[in-house]
């Protein structure tokens, strides 16, 4: 079948053909691929993306949620230019003042953060958090939740994709990729989100061996936790001495300045951050309780000059990275936080999100589709079905074929969404953008066919 976009995206098709000769699948990350070919973008501004064929899109992917201020926010661009000219280089490879400034900021804003280490991605942040937790407890196994993504490495690439199962049946631990060693998969225990009874019974069987429990406090950034779920998990892990890690890579600086933990009032031992924190540049950070974080310190016995000696021994928890705390990244991140700290910034984006969600639901229902939006804060998803959506299983039970069809029609109408993915908004998605999106959305839904 001819892709509806085919006529208008010929240059993307050509570039894709060439890309596929030099990169597996023509992409630099599997998630960037979709059928029949992904669109190649050329420039961006505010809420808009412009592709290589000069089509414009209102962007709801926003680099998978990272761009909380939209594209090219003037204060972020200015901060980056200023950093490059002030320092005369992108990076020193030595300590510098912005690291201190950002660490201080995170400690002040995020309740569970006392001290911080920076990484280059969200994936490295969860990896480091898990190592800290295992070192702290001396235990090997890690518990994670079905459908929760923490990055692409072996230990957590387990049961990110979901298979249908009976309610109350514990999820299986399945590797999501070839090449994940069986013995690493076996170290991962998988739990069902928002099902406390089953979660508790699985934890009871494993508690002695668990070095960490990690989760996205809001599943996949859009499915909210039941009110009691997070606090029960907190209470349980505290009672059993298991460090609780919140992966706030998506929710950090989206669910407000204090993240999901501030919003729900449940404080983890360790927090992984990323995305918005880098203002569009690659970043990750781990923050948490001082005594756990301190395992990574190369300084021992209060002897500050003994640092190098300490770092040689196995008593130190290894953490490193050539670009950790990169000045260009931190200047963009600090500028982003400064904008978000202004009164009403999050409220405005949440208000726009609510208006968009309600508008989309109204259009779908009026045109005879059974659909709902599911979300929290500034992120949501569209689900064809009217059953409650409390975990990934429930998304599986919805009409995904219809959703895929809709997403392609939306692309054709100039609404950029990675098919089947979430919608994220930014401070650039003001009323005019939301109204225009709803007009485009209606034009897309008009062509949506059942069956």
Catalytic residues: 149, 247, 275
Instruction: Considering the complex, state which of residue 66 and residue 356 has its C-beta at the smaller distance from ligand PMP.
Output: 66
> Per-residue contact track with ligand PMP, 279 to 298, x per CB under 6 A?
-----x--------------
Stretch that binds ligand PMP, among 187-195, 243-251, 292-300, 351-359 (CB under 6 A): 243-251
Look at phi and psi of residue 344 and say left if phi exceeds 0, alpha if psi is from -120 to 50, else beta. left
Q: Which range touches ligand PMP (CB under 6 A), out of 106-114, 149-157, 351-359, 426-434?
A: 149-157
Q: Which is nearer to ligand PMP, 122 or 444 (CB)?
A: 122
Least distance from ligand PMP to the Cβ atom of residue 246, Å: 10
Which residue, 216 or 407, has its beta carbon nearer to ligand PMP?
216
Return the number of the residue (240 or 418) whose C-beta is nearest ligand PMP. 418
Taking CB under 6 A as the criterion, the residue among 55, 83, 126, 328 binding ligand PMP is: 126
Q: Which range binds ligand PMP by CB under 6 A, 71-79, 80-88, 144-152, 360-368?
A: 144-152
One residue of 142, 223, 249, 335 binding ligand PMP per CB under 6 A: 249
d(CA 214, CA 230): 12
Whichever of 259 and 327 has its CB closer to ligand PMP, that residue is 259
109: phi then psi, degrees, rounded to nearest 5: -95, -40
Name 425's bridge partners. Answer: none
**Is residue 64 a contact residue for ligand PMP (CB under 6 A)?**
yes
250 touching ligand PMP, by CB under 6 A: yes
List the interface residues with ligand PMP, window 199-218 (CB under 6 A).
216
Q: Point out which span in 121-129, 172-180, 310-318, 401-409 binds ligand PMP (CB under 6 A).
A: 121-129
Query: In the complex with ligand PMP, which residue's Cβ is closer, 254 or 408?
Result: 254
- Walk across the sheet containing 244-247 and list its strands: 115-119, 284-288, 270-274, 244-247, 210-215, 141-145, 188-191
Gyration radius (Cα) of the chain, Å: 22
Window contacting ligand PMP (CB under 6 A); options: 50-58, 90-98, 101-109, 116-124: 116-124
Residue 150 engages ligand PMP in binding (rule: CB under 6 A): yes
Q: What is the 3-state secondary structure (H, E, C) of the chain?
A: CCCCCHHHCHHHHHHHHHHHHHCHHHCCCHHHCCCCCCCCEEEEEECEEEECCCCEEEECCHHHHCCCCCECCHHHHHHHHHHHHHHCCCCCCCCCHHHHHHHHHHHHHCCCCCEEEEECCHHHHHHHHHHHHHHHHCCCEEEEECCCCCCCCHHHCECCCCCCCCCCCCCCCCECCCCCCHHHHCCEEEECCCCHHHHHHHHHHHHHHEEEEEECCCECCCECCCHHHHHHHHHHHHHCCCCEEEECCCCCCCCCCCHHHHHHCCCCCEEEEEHHHHCCCCCEEEEECHHHHHHHCCCECCEHHHHHHHHHCCCCCCCCCCCCCCHHHHHHHHHHHHHHCCCCHHHHHHHHHHHHHHHHHHHHHHCCCCEEEEEECCEEEEEECCCCCCCHHHHHCCCHHHHHHHHHHHHHHCEECCCCCCEECCCCCCHHHHHHHHHHHHHHHHCCCCC
Judged by CB under 6 A, the residue of 47, 68, 123, 352 near ligand PMP is: 123
Angle at 221 between CA 217 and CA 226, to 5 degrees: 45
Report the residue number whose CB is nearest to ligand PMP. Answer: 122
| Between 260 and 402, CB nearer to ligand PMP | 260
Q: In whole angstroms, how close is the CB of 41 to ligand PMP at the nearest point?
A: 18
Considering the complex, state which of residue 76 and residue 218 has its C-beta at the smaller distance from ligand PMP: 218
Q: Does 151 engage in binding with ligand PMP (CB under 6 A)?
A: yes
Residue 30 or 89: the one with the smaller Cβ distance to ligand PMP is 30
Task: Tell me how far, at minimum, the Cβ of 343 lies from ligand PMP, in Å.
Answer: 28
Which of these segments, 145-153, 300-308, 310-318, 438-446, binds ligand PMP (CB under 6 A)?
Answer: 145-153
Cβ neighbours for 310, distance < 8 A, ≥ 6 positions apart: 297, 298, 299, 300, 316
Binding to ligand PMP by residue 223, rule CB under 6 A? no
Q: Out of 26, 122, 280, 377, which residue is the one contacting ligand PMP (CB under 6 A)?
A: 122
Interaction between residue 252 and ligand PMP (CB under 6 A): no
Among 9, 61, 115, 121, the residue binding ligand PMP under the rule CB under 6 A is: 121
Assess 196 for contact with ligand PMP (CB under 6 A). Answer: no
CB of 102 to ligand PMP, least distance (A): 17
Q: Which position among 26, 217, 252, 274 is part of the footprint of ligand PMP (CB under 6 A)?
A: 274
Question: How many CB atoms sit inside 10 A of residue 212's CB?
Answer: 27
Which residues contribute to the site for ligand PMP (CB under 6 A)? 64, 121-123, 126, 149-151, 216, 247, 249-250, 274, 284
């Amino acid at each position: 079948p001819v892709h509806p976009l085919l006529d208008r995206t010929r240059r993307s098709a050509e570039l894709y053909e060439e890309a596929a000769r030099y990169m597996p699948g023509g992409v630099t990350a599997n998630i960037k691929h979709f059928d029949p070919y992904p669109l190649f973008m050329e420039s961006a501004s505010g809420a808009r993306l412009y592709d290589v064929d000069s089509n414009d899109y209102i962007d709801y992917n926003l680099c998978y949620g990272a761009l909380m201020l939209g594209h090219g926010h003037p204060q972020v661009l200015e901060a980056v230019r200023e950093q490059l000219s002030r320092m005369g280089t992108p990076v020193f490879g030595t300590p510098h003042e912005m690291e201190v400034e950002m660490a201080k900021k995170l400690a002040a804003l995020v309740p569970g953060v006392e001290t911080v280490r920076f990484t280059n991605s969200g994936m490295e942040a969860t990896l480091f958090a898990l190592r800290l937790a295992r070192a702290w407890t001396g235990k090997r196994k890690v518990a994670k939740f079905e459908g929760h993504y923490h990055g692409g490495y072996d230990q957590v690439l387990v049961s990110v994709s979901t298979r249908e199962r009976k309610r109350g049946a514990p999820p299986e631990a399945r590797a999501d990729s070839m090449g994940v060693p069986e013995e690493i998969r076996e170290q991962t225990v998988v739990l069902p989100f928002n099902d406390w009874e089953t979660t508790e019974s699985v934890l009871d069987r494993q508690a002695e061996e668990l070095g960490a429990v990690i989760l996205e406090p809001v599943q996949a950034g859009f499915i909210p936790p039941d009110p009691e779920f997070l606090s029960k998990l907190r209470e349980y892990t505290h009672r059993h001495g298991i460090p609780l890690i919140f992966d706030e890579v998506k929710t950090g600086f989206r669910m407000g300045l204090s993240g999901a933990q501030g919003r729900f009032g449940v404080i983890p031992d360790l927090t992984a951050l990323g995305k918005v924190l880098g203002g569009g540049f690659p970043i990750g950070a781990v923050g948490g309780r001082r005594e756990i974080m301190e395992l990574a310190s190369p300084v021992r016995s209060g002897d500050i000059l003994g640092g190098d000696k300490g770092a040689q021994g196995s008593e130190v928890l290894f953490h490193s990275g050539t670009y950790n705390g990169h000045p260009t990244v931190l200047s963009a991140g600090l500028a982003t936080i400064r904008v978000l700290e202004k009164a009403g910034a999050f409220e405005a984006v949440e208000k726009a999100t609510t208006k968009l969600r309600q508008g989309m639901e109204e259009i779908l229902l009026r045109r005879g589709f059974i659909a709902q939006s599911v979300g929290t804060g500034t992120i949501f998803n569209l689900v064809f079905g009217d059953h409650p959506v409390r975990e990934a299983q429930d998304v599986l039970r919805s009409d995904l074929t219809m959703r895929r069809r809709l997403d392609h029609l939306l692309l054709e109408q100039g609404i950029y969404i990675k098919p089947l993915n979430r919608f994220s908004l930014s401070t650039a998605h003001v009323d005019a953008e939301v109204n225009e999106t709803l007009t485009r959305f209606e034009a897309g839904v008009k062509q949506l066919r059942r069956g």
